[in-house]
Chains A and B, each alone.
Chain A
Amino acid sequence: MNSMPRILRGQGQKPMKTTMFTKLKRHLAAAVLALAAVLSVSEAAQAQVHVTGPLAGAPAVRKLRLYRQGRFELSPNVSFTLLDEYRRNIFFGLRVNYGITDWLAVGAWGGIGSSLMGFPIDTALTGAIQEVNQARDCQGAGQGTLECKLTEVNLSSNFPNQLASLDWMAAPQLTAVPFRGKLGLFNSVFVDADLYLFAGAAFVGIRDRANCEGECTTQASFQTVGRMEIAPTFGLGFTFFINKWTAFGAEYRAVPFNISNAGFDVAGRGQNNAFPDGDIDGADRQFKFNQMLTISFNMYLPMQNKVSE
Chain B
Amino acid sequence: MKHTRIALLAAAALWGLPAAGFAQEGEEVLDADAPAAEGEGAEPADAPAEGGEEFNDAEFEEKGEGVGDICEIDPAACPTLDMAKEANKPLGETIKAVQQRFIIKKHRFELQPFWGITLNDQFVGHPGPGLAANFYITEVMAVGINGQYYDPFNNESAFNAQVRRAARVGVPLTEYQWAAAANFSYMPASGKFSGFGNFIFHYDMYVVGGIGAISTRPIAVIDPDYRNFSYQPHVDFNVGLGLKIFFNRWFAAVLEVRDYIFIDQLENLVVPADPADRANSATWLGDTSLTNNVQAQLGVSVFIPFSFKYRLPKAGADTAGGAK
Is residue B231 contacting chain A, with contact meaning CB distance below 8 A? Answer: no
* Separation of A268 and B268 alpha carbons in the complex (Å): 34
Taking a contact as CB atoms under 8 Å apart, the answer to whether B269 and A4 are in contact is yes
Taking a contact as CB atoms under 8 Å apart, the answer to whether A3 and B166 are in contact is no
State how many angstroms separate the Cβ of B67 from the closest Cβ of chain A.
19
* Separation of A265 and B222 alpha carbons in the complex (Å): 22
Q: A residues 16-66 with Cβ under 8 Å of B?
A: 16-20, 22-23, 26-27, 30-31, 33-34, 37-38, 41-42, 44-46, 48-55, 58-64
Taking a contact as CB atoms under 8 Å apart, the answer to whether B172 and A27 are in contact is no
Is residue B120 contacting chain A, with contact meaning CB distance below 8 A? Answer: yes
Give the chain A neighbours of B205 by CB distance below 8 A.
183
Taking a contact as CB atoms under 8 Å apart, the answer to whether A60 and B324 are in contact is no
Listed stretches B81-89, B189-197, B232-240; interface member: B189-197
Known: A2-B264, A2-B289, A178-B195. A12 touches B167 (CB 8 A): no
- Among B41, B121, B123, B203, the residue within 8 A (CB) of A49 is B41
A 179-216 binary contact with B (CB < 8 Å = 1; else 0): 11111111000100111000000000000000000000
Taking a contact as CB atoms under 8 Å apart, the answer to whether B253 and A34 are in contact is yes
Taking a contact as CB atoms under 8 Å apart, the answer to whether B172 and A2 are in contact is yes
Is residue B313 contacting chain A, with contact meaning CB distance below 8 A? Answer: no
Give the chain B neighbours of A6 by CB distance below 8 A.
169-170, 222, 269-270
Q: B residues 113-172 with Cβ under 8 Å of A?
A: 115, 117, 119-123, 125, 127, 153, 155-156, 158-172
Is residue B98 contacting chain A, with contact meaning CB distance below 8 A? Answer: yes
* Separation of A241 and B269 alpha carbons in the complex (Å): 52
Taking a contact as CB atoms under 8 Å apart, the answer to whether A184 and B51 are in contact is no
Is residue B40 contacting chain A, with contact meaning CB distance below 8 A? Answer: yes
Taking a contact as CB atoms under 8 Å apart, the answer to whether B248 and A190 are in contact is no
Is residue B47 contacting chain A, with contact meaning CB distance below 8 A? Answer: yes
Taking a contact as CB atoms under 8 Å apart, the answer to whether A31 and B122 are in contact is no
Is residue B199 contacting chain A, with contact meaning CB distance below 8 A? Answer: yes
* Separation of A178 and B193 alpha carbons in the complex (Å): 9
Is residue A120 contacting chain B, with contact meaning CB distance below 8 A? Answer: no
> In the complex, how many residues of chain B place their beta carbon closer than 8 angstroms to a beta carbon of chain A?
84
Taking a contact as CB atoms under 8 Å apart, the answer to whether A12 and B225 are in contact is yes
Taking a contact as CB atoms under 8 Å apart, the answer to whether A83 and B194 are in contact is no
State how many angstroms separate the Cβ of B39 from the closest Cβ of chain A.
5
Taking a contact as CB atoms under 8 Å apart, the answer to whether A103 and B166 are in contact is no
Closest chain A residue, CB of each to CB of B323: A190
Give the chain A neighbours of B189 by CB distance below 8 A.
183-186
Known: A61-B43, A83-B122. A182 touches B166 (CB 8 A): no
* Separation of A26 and B115 alpha carbons in the complex (Å): 11
- Among A12, A62, A185, the residue within 8 A (CB) of B188 is A185
Give the chain B neighbours of A38 by CB distance below 8 A.
247, 253, 300
- Among A10, A42, A182, the residue within 8 A (CB) of B225 is A10
State how many angstroms separate the Cβ of A224 from the closest Cβ of chain B.
17
- Among B155, B192, B198, B220, the residue within 8 A (CB) of A17 is B155
Taking a contact as CB atoms under 8 Å apart, the answer to whether A49 and B40 are in contact is yes
Known: A179-B195, A182-B192. A128 touches B13 (CB 8 A): no
Closest chain A residue, CB of each to CB of B41: A49
B 17-60 binary contact with A (CB < 8 Å = 1; else 0): 00100000000000000000011110110110011000000000
Known: A12-B225, A13-B164, A44-B248. A23 touches B171 (CB 8 A): no
Taking a contact as CB atoms under 8 Å apart, the answer to whether A18 and B156 are in contact is yes
Taking a contact as CB atoms under 8 Å apart, the answer to whether A48 and B40 are in contact is yes
Taking a contact as CB atoms under 8 Å apart, the answer to whether B168 and A60 are in contact is no
Taking a contact as CB atoms under 8 Å apart, the answer to whether B16 and A53 are in contact is yes
State how many angstroms separate the Cβ of A118 from the closest Cβ of chain B.
25
Which 6 pairs show the lowest CB-CB distances between chains A and B? A181-B193, A53-B38, A264-B166, A12-B224, A190-B97, A183-B191
Q: List 16 A-B residue pairs with CB atoms under 8 Å apart, sorted by A's residue number.
A: A2-B171, A8-B168, A8-B221, A9-B170, A9-B223, A33-B115, A45-B247, A49-B199, A51-B39, A62-B51, A64-B194, A83-B119, A85-B159, A150-B168, A183-B189, A266-B162
Tell me the A residues contacting B by CB distance below 8 Å. 1-10, 12-20, 22-23, 26-27, 30-31, 33-34, 37-38, 41-42, 44-46, 48-55, 58-64, 82-85, 103, 125, 128-129, 132-133, 147, 150-151, 154-155, 159, 178-186, 190, 193-195, 262, 264-266, 276
Beyond A12-B223, A82-B120, A178-B196, list 17 extra A-B contacts (CB 8 Å): A1-B122, A1-B171, A12-B225, A14-B156, A48-B41, A51-B40, A52-B38, A52-B39, A54-B16, A60-B194, A61-B43, A62-B50, A63-B50, A154-B166, A182-B191, A184-B98, A262-B167
